[in-house]
Amino acid sequence: MSRRLPWGAMARMTGRRALAAVPVLLGVTLAVFAVAAASPFDPVKAYAGTAGLTASQENLDQLRANLGADRPWLTRWWEWLGRAVTGDLGDSSVMRQPVADVIAERVGWSALLAATAFLLAVTLGTALGVLAGRRRGGLLDRAVSSAAYTLEAAPAFWLGLLAIWFFALKLGALPAGGLTDTASETVTAGQVAHHLVLPALVLGISQLPWFFLYVRQGVGDALEEDPVRGARARGLGERTVLTGHALRSGMLPMLTLIGSRVPELITGALLVETVFSWPGIAAATVQAAVSVDFPLLAALTVLATAAVLLGNLLSDLLYGLADPRVGFDG
Amino acid sequence: MAARTVRRATAAILTGAVALTAAACSHPGNGAAGSGGPKDSAVVGIAYEPDTLSPLLGYGKDGNSKIFDGLLAFDADLKLRPALAAALPTVSADGLTYTYKLRPGVKFSDGKPFTAKDVVFTYRTVLDPKTNNPSRTELDALEDVRAVGDDTVVFTLKYPYAPFAERTVLAIAPEHVAGRQDVNNGPFTTKPIGTGPYVLTGWSKGEKLTFQANPNYWGGAPAVKKFTMAVIKDDDVRATRLRAGDLDGAILPPNLAANFKTDKTKKTYAATTYDYRTVTLPTHNEVTGDTAVRRALDLAVDRQAMVDKILEGAGKPAYGPVPTGSPWFAKGTERRHDLAGARKILDEAGWKPGPDGIRVKNGVRAAFPLWYLSGDKLRQDHALAYASDAKKAGVEITTQAGTWEVIEPRMKTDAVLAGGGSPGDPDFDQYLLLKSALAGDGFNNMAWYDNKAVDRALEEGRRTDDPAQRRAAYDTVQRELVKNPGYTFLTHIDHLYVVADRWTTDAGDLTTQTEPHDHGLASGPWWNVEDWKPKGSGATAK
């Protein structure tokens, strides 16, 4: 593994992908505006909430004009784009504050939660997958595999409720929700870490089966391939066989998986954030969607798309590194 | 945090220092709340989060905000009492001018004095069409507001509007802060500054709002120094966290509240409400537009069964928007469940049972659709029970679920299971629900109800200040609703709260106000948290 990294090729691929991302992002925002405009939700009703039920038509019409909801979506998209390019993301109608503030307040907490959960899922999933793949049909394999299939079927929010019931209610060991102690006003690292455990665990565990099953399969198959048999025949130690041969090719499918799991991670985070009252971006996304809050929705979609594109880039880079035959985009 | 003046920064630091000292004195432990936590802090779980904390956009319009005060406020019995005003207003003989003297010496939590300018600013901004305030219609009667000196405010009305004083519970915003930024999206909408008993110290959207007692509150510093509202949308999670001791109190649906009955450390409070569920009977539908059908349905429905089965006892039968327990309720307008009477009315009106048991008149089947908001279990249960009761009288109702986007275009001819209710003046609900001129205006008068006698009585009720005349007017409305019900009112729903039994007030046990349809932030037993005292430790001087 002591060869030099192909920095040049990697940078060229990153650059090509960044260029390709521009039309993708443009198309996605255009689609978001179109879909939102076609949706049956009415931004004025969403804005007014229960007050809208007693508001006069005149009041509602005035709101529609103030919010710009009476203009064609294509015009609104063009104006939004023009301002977004200059760094002005507009104002969120549903949050009553600038979009940039909404995102700045929340995205960090979502990223922290998702990154912790992802790390947990990848490391734990890989470790268990290697152990199970080494001895397929063994006790550990059977136990973890059946648990993994069960987990794959379990919705994240249900796991969340279960975790709250067990760890917070039965054991009283961990807080049931929030970013900090409910009564606390300041955000300290210790408190956040303490409160992060359950939601990250739940989100991580809900992602874990995918990594576990892929690695288990990959390692198991690799151990039966010719190079491994050859290595074994040459009398190489089991450890060398595993790390040097089986792991290398066995891990390849998982690298692709890392990129493709990002969207799942985002949707999973949504449910987990709701159950644990985690002040992340996920809840804002749903609110923006059902309230047809164009500026917020567009900004969040750009963020999510960028996350997916980055995830794919990352997995392709890793793949290229792990298997030089694949290379970096030709 | 944007740049602030030195004075404001100093004030903020001082407030913070006081708060810290208070917190330090009262927090020997690690600050964990819950049943065993410090006695001068309270944490409650709420289901809904406000969109904004700016009074200019509609927050605190019904009074009782913890951060702001209105000129007037409601007490537990919804009687008006002075707040930022020194006394109740003086009203001119023609009912068109309301004059308020302001309470002297009141300061905003940033240390700046509160004056008549702030009142004028608040009302004018709300009335400004550029302000995105969806509740502006409530101030429709208001023509102009002006300051006379620093301590007097004069309101001029377009037409005599008896309940106007009850609209002046509207929270007052500081002009020197809110007047200098974008009203609709400025920082004030999330970082408000008011004159109220509590100062907002943090709002983590989707998680919680934290408050610190305002040590300089004009009504005296509250004994509960720290107050937290945790936003927990899921009913089960809220109940779980209440049981775990993470919350001191929470709003719960009846079935989950029932689980706490045996818990000796917690008390359940049932707040009576104006929160009604009703079926609109559109005038423009040839079945529901027939007075005989309306009256028959009014008798065929078994309201008590709905209260017992659907609400598990936590509610009351409703015969109109006015709850039976309200002093404005017209005694004698209660309708008994009378299936035989309902059938008789339909028989006499010429609705004869057809071969399938459904009545027919002149080739029209006694059948109509009833819409309810999808996902709302309570409304669904009400709709199904209503349809089943109607069936027994020979009227076929098809229940259908939909979002408001689907329902709204059909409201003119299709029945809807609607909810609503605002306490206070009888004008608030009845005018919007029943006035024929408001038919189809937004969600007002959804049933397109059209009754000249009711129209007249509604106008009389709002234009006179004489209590006897007003009572007579609203009695007329309620009696007309018996003769020609444009809606079938079903129930008024109690809101249930479970709270740790650790507090008391000078007046005795904790209380609840009569509550509106929507759960305001300060609904529930904590409507007067500033008056709470820890139990047993000897009441501290307020």
Please give the average per-residue pLDDT across B246-274, as a whole number.
91
C-alpha to C-alpha distance for A281 and A266, rounded to whole angstroms: 10
Give the CB-side neighbour count of residue B510, counting CA atoms within 13 A.
Answer: 28
Q: Which amino acid is at B146?
A: R
Q: How confident is the model at residue A8 (pLDDT cuts 50, 70, 90)?
A: confident
Residues of B in contact with A93 (CB under 8 A): 132
Q: By CA distance, what is B243's nearest residue in A?
A: A169
Q: How confident is the model at residue A281 (pLDDT cuts 50, 70, 90)?
A: confident
Determine whether the interchain pair B443/A55 forms a contact, defined as Cβ–Cβ distance below 8 Å.
yes
pLDDT exceeds cutoff 80 at B35:
no
**Is residue B401 within 8 Å of residue B448, measured between CB atoms?**
no
Query: CA distances (Å), B510 to each of B121, B219, B260, B499, B505, in order?
Result: 35, 19, 17, 10, 6
Q: How confident is the model at residue B199 (pLDDT cuts 50, 70, 90)?
A: very high
Q: Residue B527: what pLDDT? A: 92
C-alpha to C-alpha distance for B304 and B312, rounded to whole angstroms: 11
pLDDT exceeds cutoff 70 at B3:
no
Please give the average per-residue pLDDT across B441-456, as a whole number.
93
Mean confidence (pLDDT) of chain A: 86
Q: What is the pLDDT of residues A13-22, one digit of tens each?
A: 899 999 999 9
Using a pLDDT cut of 70, give the percent of chain A over it: 98
Q: By CA distance, what is A40's nearest residue in B?
A: B405
Determine whether the interchain pair B184/A105 forms a contact, defined as Cβ–Cβ distance below 8 Å.
no
Rounded to a whole number, what is the distance in Å from the CA of A83 to chain B's nearest CA?
A: 17
Q: Report which DSSP code applies to A175.
A: -
Q: How confident is the model at residue B38 (pLDDT cuts 50, 70, 90)?
A: low
pLDDT exceeds cutoff 90 at A199:
yes
- Is residue B128 less than 8 Å (CB to CB) from chain A? no
pLDDT exceeds cutoff 80 at B450:
yes
Quick one: CA torsion of B502, B507, B509, B514, rounded to 10 degrees? -120
Q: Lowest mean pLDDT: which of A220-229, A279-288, B30-39, B110-119?
A: B30-39
The residue among A39, A42, A53 with the most chain B CBs within 10 A of its CB, best to mutate, is A53
Taking phi over 0 as left and psi of -120 to 50 as alpha, with beta for the rest, A53 belongs to: alpha
Q: Which two tokens stand for residue B360?
A: 């027919």
Q: Residue B301: what pLDDT? A: 97
Determine whether the interchain pair A273/B206 forms a contact, defined as Cβ–Cβ distance below 8 Å.
yes
Q: What is the pLDDT of residues B80-100, one digit of tens each?
A: 999 999 999 999 999 999 999
How many beta carbons lie within 10 A of that of residue A273, not counting itself? 29
Residue A54 has its nearest CB partner, among B212, B246, B444, at: B444
Using a pLDDT cut of 70, give the percent of chain B over it: 91
pLDDT exceeds cutoff 80 at B28:
no
Q: Which of B15-19, B347-351, B375-379 tops mean pLDDT?
A: B347-351
Query: CA distances (Å), B423 to each of B46, B162, B429, in order?
Result: 20, 15, 8
Determine whether the interchain pair B246/A105 forms a contact, defined as Cβ–Cβ distance below 8 Å.
no
pLDDT exceeds cutoff 90 at A1:
no
The residue among B48, B204, B226 with the most chain A CBs within 10 A of its CB, best to mutate, is B204
Residues within 8 A of A (CB atoms), B 54-83 only? 54, 57-58
Q: Which two tokens stand for residue B119?
A: 């009142």
Q: In what order do the strands lie in the sheet with B41-46?
A: B198-204, B208-213, B226-231, B41-46, B249-252, B495-500, B266-271
Q: Report which DSSP code applies to B29.
A: S
Residues 6+ away with beta carbon under 8 Å from A311: A258, A259, A260, A261, A262
Please give the average per-residue pLDDT across B371-385, as a whole number.
92
Q: Lowest mean pLDDT: which of A175-179, A199-203, B361-365?
A: A175-179
Closest CA to B185 of B56, B276, B28: B56
Please give the average per-residue pLDDT across B423-429, as a whole number.
88
pLDDT greater at residue B25 or residue B169? B169
Q: How confident is the model at residue B251 (pLDDT cuts 50, 70, 90)?
A: very high
Q: What is the pLDDT of residues B335-362, one digit of tens each?
A: 999 999 999 999 999 999 999 999 999 9
Q: Residue B21: what pLDDT? A: 36
Determine whether the interchain pair A52/B57 forms a contact, defined as Cβ–Cβ distance below 8 Å.
no
Q: Residue B4: what pLDDT? A: 40
Residue B208 has its nearest CB partner, among A49, A106, A178, at: A178
**Is residue B523 within 8 Å of residue B271, measured between CB atoms?**
yes
**Is residue A109 within 8 Å of residue A180, measured between CB atoms?**
no
Closest CA to B423 of B288, B532, B519: B519
pTM of the model: 0.82
Using a pLDDT cut of 90, give the percent of chain A over it: 30
Please give the average per-residue pLDDT across A33-40, as a whole number.
87
pLDDT exceeds cutoff 90 at B37:
no
C-alpha to C-alpha distance for B113 and B130, rounded to whole angstroms: 27
Is the CA virtual torsion A36, A40, A43, A46 positive or negative? Answer: negative
Q: Give the pairing type, strands B396-402 and B226-231.
A: unpaired
Residues 6+ away with beta carbon under 8 Å from B291: B483, B484
Q: Residue B520: what pLDDT? A: 64
pLDDT exceeds cutoff 80 at B142:
yes
Taking phi over 0 as left and psi of -120 to 50 as alpha, with beta for the rest, B27 belongs to: beta
Determine whether the interchain pair A182/B232 forms a contact, defined as Cβ–Cβ distance below 8 Å.
no
Please give the average per-residue pLDDT across B174-186, as a whole number.
95
The residue among B40, B62, B241 with the most chain A CBs within 10 A of its CB, best to mutate, is B241
**Is residue B129 within 8 Å of residue B123, measured between CB atoms?**
no
**Is residue A244 within 8 Å of residue B199, measured between CB atoms?**
no
**Is residue B382 within 8 Å of residue B303, measured between CB atoms?**
no
Q: How confident is the model at residue B519 (pLDDT cuts 50, 70, 90)?
A: low
Beta strands in B442-505 (DSSP E): 487-493, 495-500, 503-504
Q: Residue B12: what pLDDT? A: 42
Residue B102 pairs with which residues in a beta bridge?
B85
- Is residue B247 less than 8 Å (CB to CB) from chain A? yes
Q: Residue A274: what pLDDT? A: 81
Using a pLDDT cut of 90, give the percent of chain B over it: 73
Residues 6+ away with beta carbon under 8 Å from A2: none
Q: What is the pLDDT of residues B317-327, one digit of tens each?
A: 999 999 999 99
pLDDT exceeds cutoff 50 at B542:
no
Q: Residue B395: what pLDDT? A: 97
Residues of A in contact with B207 (CB under 8 A): 178-179, 277-279
Q: DSSP letter string over A29-61?
A: HHHHHHHHHHSS--HHHHHHGGGGGT--HHHHH
Residue B200 pairs with which residues in a beta bridge?
B211
Q: Residue A329: what pLDDT? A: 67
pLDDT exceeds cutoff 50 at B19:
no
Q: What is the pLDDT of residues A234-267, one digit of tens each?
A: 887 777 877 777 777 777 777 778 877 888 888 8
Q: How confident is the model at residue B27 (pLDDT cuts 50, 70, 90)?
A: very low
Q: Give the pairing type, strands B396-402 and B367-373.
A: parallel
Angle between helices A282-290 and A294-322 (to 10 degrees): 130
pLDDT exceeds cutoff 90 at B48:
no
Q: Which two tokens stand for residue B161?
A: 């509007």
Residues of A in contact with B140 (CB under 8 A): 56
Q: Residue B31: what pLDDT? A: 35
Determine whether the interchain pair B51/A63 forms a contact, defined as Cβ–Cβ distance below 8 Å.
no
Q: Lowest mean pLDDT: which of A56-60, B156-160, B174-178, B430-434?
A: A56-60
pLDDT exceeds cutoff 80 at B5:
no
pLDDT greater at residue B217 or residue A94? B217
Q: How confident is the model at residue A56 (pLDDT cuts 50, 70, 90)?
A: confident
Q: What is the pLDDT of residues A298-318, one digit of tens each?
A: 999 998 899 889 888 888 888
Please give the average per-residue pLDDT across B504-515, as a whole number.
90
Judged on CB neighbours under 10 Å (0-12, 13-18, 19+), A322 is middle
pLDDT exceeds cutoff 50 at B23:
no
Give the CB-side neighbour count of residue B69, counting CA atoms within 13 A.
Answer: 27
C-alpha to C-alpha distance for A274 and A287, rounded to whole angstroms: 12
For residues B135-165, b (16+ Cβ closer than 10 Å) or e, as one string?
bbbbbebbeebebeeeebbbbebeebbbbbb
Q: By CA distance, what is A61's nearest residue in B?
A: B442
Please give the average per-residue pLDDT across A120-129, as a whole number.
91
C-alpha to C-alpha distance for B185 and B498, rounded to whole angstroms: 36
